[in-house]
Amino acid sequence: MASEWSPGSSSRRTFIKQTTGLAGLTLAPMNQAEPSAPGPTLVQGATELSLRINGRVYSLRAEPRTTLLDALREYLHLTGTKKGCDHGQCGACTVHVDGERITSCLTLAIMQQGKQITTIEGLAKGDQLHPMQEAFLKHDGFQCGYCTPGQIMSAVACIREGHATSDDQCREWMSGNICRCGAYPNILAAIREVASSQ
Protein backbone atom coordinates (compact mmCIF):
# COMPACT_ATOMS: atom_id res chain seq x y z
CA MET A 1 0.00 0.00 0.00
CA ALA A 2 1.48 3.31 -1.06
CA SER A 3 -0.06 5.41 1.62
CA GLU A 4 -1.77 5.12 4.96
CA TRP A 5 -2.77 8.74 4.91
CA SER A 6 -6.33 9.45 5.84
CA PRO A 7 -7.76 12.91 6.30
CA GLY A 8 -9.22 14.26 9.52
CA SER A 9 -11.96 11.76 9.11
CA SER A 10 -14.57 13.20 11.36
CA SER A 11 -14.87 16.56 9.60
CA ARG A 12 -14.64 15.03 6.18
CA ARG A 13 -17.34 12.51 6.84
CA THR A 14 -19.67 15.02 8.43
CA PHE A 15 -19.24 17.13 5.33
CA ILE A 16 -20.14 14.22 3.12
CA LYS A 17 -23.27 13.40 5.04
CA GLN A 18 -24.50 16.96 5.02
CA THR A 19 -23.83 17.39 1.34
CA THR A 20 -25.82 14.32 0.49
CA GLY A 21 -28.86 15.78 2.14
CA LEU A 22 -29.02 12.87 4.52
CA ALA A 23 -28.50 15.14 7.51
CA GLY A 24 -25.90 13.10 9.29
CA LEU A 25 -26.21 14.77 12.65
CA THR A 26 -28.26 12.07 14.27
CA LEU A 27 -26.43 9.16 12.69
CA ALA A 28 -24.61 6.67 14.83
CA PRO A 29 -21.31 7.93 16.28
CA MET A 30 -18.11 7.40 14.34
CA ASN A 31 -16.35 4.11 14.57
CA GLN A 32 -13.72 4.85 17.19
CA ALA A 33 -11.83 1.66 16.48
CA GLU A 34 -10.21 3.01 13.30
CA PRO A 35 -6.44 2.62 13.31
CA SER A 36 -4.78 5.95 13.95
CA ALA A 37 -3.10 7.44 10.87
CA PRO A 38 0.65 7.85 10.90
CA GLY A 39 0.37 11.47 9.68
CA PRO A 40 0.09 13.08 6.25
CA THR A 41 2.14 11.73 3.36
CA LEU A 42 2.20 13.36 -0.06
CA VAL A 43 0.85 11.09 -2.75
CA GLN A 44 1.20 12.06 -6.40
CA GLY A 45 0.30 10.36 -9.65
CA ALA A 46 -1.00 6.87 -10.06
CA THR A 47 -0.26 4.67 -7.07
CA GLU A 48 -1.20 1.20 -5.97
CA LEU A 49 -4.38 1.23 -3.94
CA SER A 50 -6.05 -1.53 -2.08
CA LEU A 51 -9.76 -1.53 -1.39
CA ARG A 52 -11.80 -4.05 0.57
CA ILE A 53 -15.04 -4.36 -1.35
CA ASN A 54 -17.77 -6.91 -0.67
CA GLY A 55 -15.39 -8.89 1.49
CA ARG A 56 -12.71 -9.14 -1.15
CA VAL A 57 -9.50 -7.16 -1.52
CA TYR A 58 -9.09 -5.37 -4.82
CA SER A 59 -5.82 -3.81 -5.98
CA LEU A 60 -5.80 -1.01 -8.46
CA ARG A 61 -3.50 1.65 -9.77
CA ALA A 62 -5.16 5.06 -9.66
CA GLU A 63 -4.46 8.67 -8.84
CA PRO A 64 -5.26 10.16 -5.43
CA ARG A 65 -7.93 12.32 -7.09
CA THR A 66 -9.82 9.25 -8.33
CA THR A 67 -13.17 9.14 -6.57
CA LEU A 68 -14.39 5.95 -5.00
CA LEU A 69 -17.17 5.96 -7.60
CA ASP A 70 -14.78 6.17 -10.55
CA ALA A 71 -12.52 3.57 -8.96
CA LEU A 72 -15.46 1.19 -8.73
CA ARG A 73 -16.83 1.87 -12.20
CA GLU A 74 -13.81 2.64 -14.35
CA TYR A 75 -10.97 0.75 -12.64
CA LEU A 76 -12.61 -2.26 -11.02
CA HIS A 77 -15.54 -2.57 -13.45
CA LEU A 78 -18.00 -2.83 -10.58
CA THR A 79 -20.51 -0.84 -12.62
CA GLY A 80 -23.51 -1.65 -10.45
CA THR A 81 -22.83 1.59 -8.58
CA LYS A 82 -24.14 4.37 -10.84
CA LYS A 83 -23.02 7.87 -11.67
CA GLY A 84 -26.02 10.17 -11.96
CA CYS A 85 -24.55 13.56 -11.09
CA ASP A 86 -21.02 13.11 -9.67
CA HIS A 87 -21.82 15.82 -7.10
CA GLY A 88 -23.67 14.05 -4.29
CA GLN A 89 -27.00 15.39 -5.46
CA CYS A 90 -28.81 12.30 -6.71
CA GLY A 91 -27.80 9.33 -4.56
CA ALA A 92 -27.34 6.89 -7.47
CA CYS A 93 -23.79 6.11 -6.32
CA THR A 94 -24.71 5.25 -2.71
CA VAL A 95 -22.54 2.51 -1.17
CA HIS A 96 -21.86 1.45 2.40
CA VAL A 97 -18.55 2.24 4.05
CA ASP A 98 -18.17 0.53 7.40
CA GLY A 99 -21.91 0.00 7.38
CA GLU A 100 -22.91 3.61 6.73
CA ARG A 101 -24.34 4.93 3.50
CA ILE A 102 -22.28 7.48 1.62
CA THR A 103 -22.32 8.89 -1.88
CA SER A 104 -19.23 7.35 -3.43
CA CYS A 105 -18.75 10.29 -5.83
CA LEU A 106 -17.93 12.58 -2.89
CA THR A 107 -15.07 10.60 -1.49
CA LEU A 108 -11.72 9.58 -2.89
CA ALA A 109 -10.81 5.95 -3.29
CA ILE A 110 -7.52 6.52 -1.49
CA MET A 111 -9.42 7.68 1.62
CA GLN A 112 -11.39 4.46 1.84
CA GLN A 113 -8.48 2.07 2.14
CA GLY A 114 -8.78 -0.17 5.14
CA LYS A 115 -12.55 0.32 5.33
CA GLN A 116 -15.26 -2.21 4.60
CA ILE A 117 -16.97 -1.13 1.40
CA THR A 118 -20.22 -2.75 0.31
CA THR A 119 -21.69 -2.15 -3.14
CA ILE A 120 -24.83 -3.44 -4.77
CA GLU A 121 -22.86 -6.39 -6.14
CA GLY A 122 -22.13 -7.49 -2.59
CA LEU A 123 -25.65 -7.42 -1.22
CA ALA A 124 -26.90 -10.79 -2.42
CA LYS A 125 -25.45 -13.99 -1.00
CA GLY A 126 -24.59 -15.79 -4.20
CA ASP A 127 -27.88 -16.42 -5.95
CA GLN A 128 -29.90 -15.54 -2.90
CA LEU A 129 -31.05 -11.94 -3.09
CA HIS A 130 -31.05 -9.63 -0.09
CA PRO A 131 -34.61 -9.13 1.25
CA MET A 132 -34.49 -5.52 0.01
CA GLN A 133 -33.68 -6.68 -3.51
CA GLU A 134 -36.56 -9.15 -3.34
CA ALA A 135 -38.89 -6.43 -2.07
CA PHE A 136 -37.89 -4.07 -4.90
CA LEU A 137 -38.75 -6.81 -7.40
CA LYS A 138 -42.04 -7.64 -5.73
CA HIS A 139 -43.19 -4.01 -5.44
CA ASP A 140 -41.73 -2.93 -8.80
CA GLY A 141 -39.59 -0.37 -7.00
CA PHE A 142 -37.96 0.87 -10.20
CA GLN A 143 -38.43 1.32 -13.89
CA CYS A 144 -35.21 2.11 -15.71
CA GLY A 145 -33.13 0.68 -12.88
CA TYR A 146 -30.42 3.32 -12.97
CA CYS A 147 -31.09 4.81 -9.53
CA THR A 148 -31.95 1.38 -8.15
CA PRO A 149 -28.59 0.24 -6.76
CA GLY A 150 -28.35 3.55 -4.87
CA GLN A 151 -31.96 3.32 -3.68
CA ILE A 152 -31.41 -0.23 -2.43
CA MET A 153 -28.14 0.57 -0.64
CA SER A 154 -29.73 3.65 0.89
CA ALA A 155 -32.82 1.69 1.88
CA VAL A 156 -30.83 -1.01 3.68
CA ALA A 157 -28.96 1.67 5.64
CA CYS A 158 -32.15 3.65 6.25
CA ILE A 159 -33.68 0.71 8.10
CA ARG A 160 -30.43 0.04 9.98
CA GLU A 161 -30.38 3.68 11.11
CA GLY A 162 -33.91 3.32 12.46
CA HIS A 163 -35.26 5.81 9.93
CA ALA A 164 -37.93 3.64 8.36
CA THR A 165 -40.35 3.33 11.26
CA SER A 166 -43.13 5.33 9.58
CA ASP A 167 -44.00 6.19 5.97
CA ASP A 168 -43.25 9.87 6.40
CA GLN A 169 -39.98 9.30 8.22
CA CYS A 170 -38.86 6.86 5.57
CA ARG A 171 -39.78 9.28 2.76
CA GLU A 172 -37.74 12.00 4.45
CA TRP A 173 -34.68 9.82 4.99
CA MET A 174 -34.80 8.45 1.45
CA SER A 175 -35.09 11.88 -0.16
CA GLY A 176 -31.39 11.99 -1.04
CA ASN A 177 -32.05 9.32 -3.66
CA ILE A 178 -33.74 10.67 -6.76
CA CYS A 179 -35.80 8.44 -9.03
CA ARG A 180 -36.77 10.28 -12.20
CA CYS A 181 -39.03 7.45 -13.37
CA GLY A 182 -41.06 8.14 -10.26
CA ALA A 183 -41.12 4.78 -8.49
CA TYR A 184 -41.29 6.43 -5.07
CA PRO A 185 -44.55 4.86 -3.79
CA ASN A 186 -43.28 1.42 -4.83
CA ILE A 187 -39.87 1.97 -3.25
CA LEU A 188 -41.55 3.08 -0.04
CA ALA A 189 -43.72 -0.03 -0.04
CA ALA A 190 -40.63 -2.21 -0.48
CA ILE A 191 -38.69 -0.55 2.33
CA ARG A 192 -41.58 -0.52 4.75
CA GLU A 193 -42.25 -4.19 4.09
CA VAL A 194 -38.64 -5.11 4.82
CA ALA A 195 -38.57 -2.78 7.86
CA SER A 196 -41.69 -4.31 9.32
CA SER A 197 -40.41 -7.87 8.88
CA GLN A 198 -37.25 -7.19 10.89
Partner 1 sequence: MNPTNNPTFADQQSSSDVVGKPLVRVDGRAKVMGAAVYSAEHNQLPDLAHAVIKTSDVAKGRITGFDDSAAKRIPGVLGIFTHLNLPPLAQTPSTSEGKKKIALAMQMSFTPLTSDQIFYAGQPVAIVVADTLEHAQHAAALLKVSVVAETPVVSYRDTQAKLFTPTEGAAAQVPAKRGDAQAAFSNAPVQLTLTCQHATNHHNPMEPGATIAHWEAADRVTVYDTTQAIASTHKALYVMLGLPPDNVRVVTKFLGGGFGSKLTMWPHTVLTAQVAKAVGRPVKLVLTRPQMFTSMGHREDQQQTLRLGATKEGKLLALLHEKISTTSPWDNYAEMNSKIVHMLYACPNFDASVKLARANVMTSTYMRGPGEAPGSFAIECAMDDLAYQVGLDPIAIRLLNHADKDPGTGKPWSSKSLKQCYERGAELFGWGKRNPKNGATRQGNKLVGWGMASGSYPVHDAQGNARVRLYADGHALVQAAATDLGTGTYTIITQVAADSLGIAPENVYFELGDSALPTTAMSGGSRAAGTVSSSVFLAAQDVWQKLIKLAIADQHSPVYKAKPADVEAVKGRLQLKADSTKGEAFITLMQRIGLDDLEGVATGHYGSSYESPEATLNTPQAKKDDAASHSMHSFSAHFCEVEVDTELGTVHVTRWVSVVAAGRILNSMTARSQVIGGSIFGIGAALMEGTVRDPHLARYTNASLADYHVCVHADIPEMTVAFIDEEDRYINAMGVKGLGEVSIVGTSAAVSNAIFHAIGHRLTSLPITPDKVLKALRKTQ
CA distances from 6 to 2, 18, 108, 129 (A): 12, 20, 10, 34
Work out whether strand 100-103 and strand 94-97 pair parallel, antiparallel, or are unpaired.
Answer: antiparallel
Q: Which is nearer to partner 1, 35 or 55 (CB)?
A: 55
Q: Which of 74, 98, 161, 193 binds partner 1 (CB under 8 A)?
A: 74
Q: Per-residue x/- mask for partner 1, residues 140 to 169, rule CB under 8 A?
A: x-xxxxxxxx--x--------------xx-
Q: Which of 16, 102, 106, 120 binds partner 1 (CB under 8 A)?
A: 120
Residue 112 in contact with partner 1, rule: CB under 8 A? no
Q: Minimum CB separation from partner 1 for residue 40, in Å?
A: 21
In one letter, which amino acid is 52?
R
Residue 178 in contact with partner 1, rule: CB under 8 A? yes
Q: List own/partner pairs for 69-72 with CB under 8 A and 24 or more apart.
A: 69/93, 69/103, 69/104, 69/105, 70/109, 71/109, 72/104, 72/119
Q: Which of 49, 109, 111, 183 binds partner 1 (CB under 8 A)?
A: 183
